[in-house]
Amino acid sequence: MDEKPLFDGSFSVVGGGNYDNAGEVSTSIKTILKKMGLPGDVVRKVALVSYEAEINIVSYARKGMIRLRVVSDRIMIEAIDEGQGIPDIELAMQPGWSTANQKTREMGFGAGMGLCNIKTFSDTFHISSEVGKGTHLKIIINTNSSSLQ
Amino acid sequence: MDLESVIKVLNLKVRSGEDKLKTEVRGGYAGDLLSDVMANSKEGDLWITRQVHQNIVAVASLKEHAGIVLVQDSEPAKDTLEKAIKEGIPILVSELSGFEVTARIYNLLKKTD
Amino acid sequence: MTLHEIKELLDAEVLIGENQLGMEVKTAFVADLMSDVLAFATAGSLLITGLTNPQVVRTADVLDIAAVLMGRGKRPSQETFQLAEELNIPILTTKFILFEIAGRLYANGMRGCIEKVGSK
């Protein structure tokens, strides 16, 4: 990272199936990006990615954090959690594959699309995980890509 | 209106229950929360959902639905299909969104009232 | 259709957004699963759902959804209501089931949003 970031901040996320404030970080991120004047579709993509990552931390980890870094031509989201980790990443990336519990499903999640959605809306997506330790996502969304609808 | 007519008009793909196409469709229900569908859907309903796991067959069977319509080109999971074939539950697939399919089925049934 | 027209058509109660009833909404999305909304719904759409928890509002906020219409006679929980107020997202509720809601709106010109947000 050579360029001085326009924004660099980390937000902690409470896990353990506690949905009370789930989504708060993503709303904050959205507000920050909007204030920076970034285009609507980019803001929505970042908010979406952040939200899915945040919900994953809430649903499956003990706790975690989301780091947002904005530079001139791209935005980086990093989601790091402490929790059960993912034993088989390939399986977890399959649409429909889910290990959601009853509570998660009742909230409207657990359709097994979270990681897929994140990957779909990222320009660069990297995931690593260690069972018993946690999961680490690194996402880059370009801000001057022509993804306008 | 029978299932076959609905399938024809909406261009639905039939994945199971080919022998049940003369079933009368009495109404419809759209929803993805199984507990809600169990509580509120009715016999003869065409159930519109994007849930593809095998539990949908049990629900459709218990509630005596006319069939299940999967939206946005969702395909039933392998064990779902096996179960549906075994229990004779029609599973149909539409490429349209939930809103479009649900809305069209509603208006189709209304026309024949 | 405007939110006002939607309200009239579905005999809906406007819980938040009385001052936004002139808002025009052209597309709608029906879902009980938030992942689907995230994957497919477009900004400015009407979200029709039976879910009432705060995550519905978060999802709506993330995607710039125009308003949330809760069917099946469902009402937002206290937390959901507060969050919607905070984020200024209109919430309407109607006794009709999603099946009928979609049907009636469609007959009045509403269409589904089939696109994916930012699809490649």
CA distance linking residue A61 with residue C92, whole number of Å: 34
CA distances (Å), origin B71, targets A3, B94, C21: 45, 5, 30
Instruction: Please list, in sequence order, all residues whose beta carbon lies within 8 angstroms of the beta carbon of residue A141, skipping any fewer than 6 positions away.
Output: A42, A45, A46, A49, A74, A75, A76, A77, A121, A122, A123
Q: How many domains does chain B have?
A: 1
- Do A40 and C120 lie within an 8 Å CB cutoff? no
Tell me, what's the ipTM? Answer: 0.93
Choose among B32, B33, B52: nearest Cβ to A96.
B52
Task: Convert the pLDDT of each residue in A96-141 to its tens digit.
Answer: 788 888 788 777 787 778 898 899 999 999 999 999 999 999 999 9
**Angle formed by the axes of helices B98-111 and B3-10, to 10°?**
130
CA distance linking residue C30 with residue C27, whole number of Å: 10
A44/C contact by beta carbon, under 8 A? yes
- Which residue stretches of chain B are H helix? 3-10, 34-40, 55-62, 78-87, 98-111
d(CA A121, nearest CA chain B) in Å: 18
pTM above 0.80, yes or no: yes
d(CA C11, nearest CA chain A) in Å: 26
Does the pLDDT at position A149 exceed 70? no
| CA-based nearest residue in chain B for residue C39 | B72
Instruction: Please list, in sequence order, all residues whose beta carbon lies within 8 angstroms of the beta carbon of residue C77, skipping any fewer than 6 positions away.
Output: C52, C53, C54
| CA-based nearest residue in chain C for residue B32 | C32
B33/A contact by beta carbon, under 8 A? yes
Residue B63: Cβ within 10 Å count:
18
B23: region left, alpha or beta (phi > 0 left; psi from -120 to 50 alpha): beta
- Do A96 and B33 lie within an 8 Å CB cutoff? no
| CA-based nearest residue in chain C for residue A58 | C55
One-letter amino acid of A36:
M
User: pLDDT band at residue A94, thresholds of 50, 70 and 90?
Assistant: confident
pLDDT number for residue A2: 67
- What CATH number corresponds to the domain at position B48? 3.40.1390.20
| CA-based nearest residue in chain C for residue B36 | C50
Task: Convert the pLDDT of each residue in C7-60 to its tens digit.
Answer: 999 999 999 999 999 999 999 999 998 888 888 889 999 999 999 999 999 999
| CA-based nearest residue in chain A for residue C52 | A107
Domains in chain A, please, with CATH?
7-142 (3.30.565.10)
Residue in B34, B38, B53 to test binding to A, most A beta-carbons within 10 Å: B53
- Do B30 and C111 lie within an 8 Å CB cutoff? no
- Do B52 and A106 lie within an 8 Å CB cutoff? no
- Do B103 and C106 lie within an 8 Å CB cutoff? yes
Rounded to the nearest angstrom, the gap between the alpha carbon of residue C69 and the centroid of all alpha carbons in its chain is 4
- Asked if residues C107 and C32 have their Cβ atoms less than 8 Å apart, the reply is no
| Fold category of C3-111 in CATH | 3.40.1390
Instruction: Please list, in sequence order, all residues whose beta carbon lies within 8 angstroms of the beta carbon of residue B88, skipping any fewer than 6 positions away.
Output: B16, B17, B19, B20
Q: Mean of the pLDDT values across residues A8-16?
A: 96
CA distances (Å), origin B103, targets A55, A105, C21: 31, 26, 23
pLDDT number for residue B113: 65
Chain A contact set for B35 (CB, 8 A)? 106
Choose among C33, C62, C116: nearest Cβ to A108.
C33
- Asked if residues C57 and C82 have their Cβ atoms less than 8 Å apart, the reply is no
Burial C16-30 (b: 16+ CB within 10 A, else e): bbeebbebebebbbb
d(CA C57, nearest CA chain A) in Å: 9
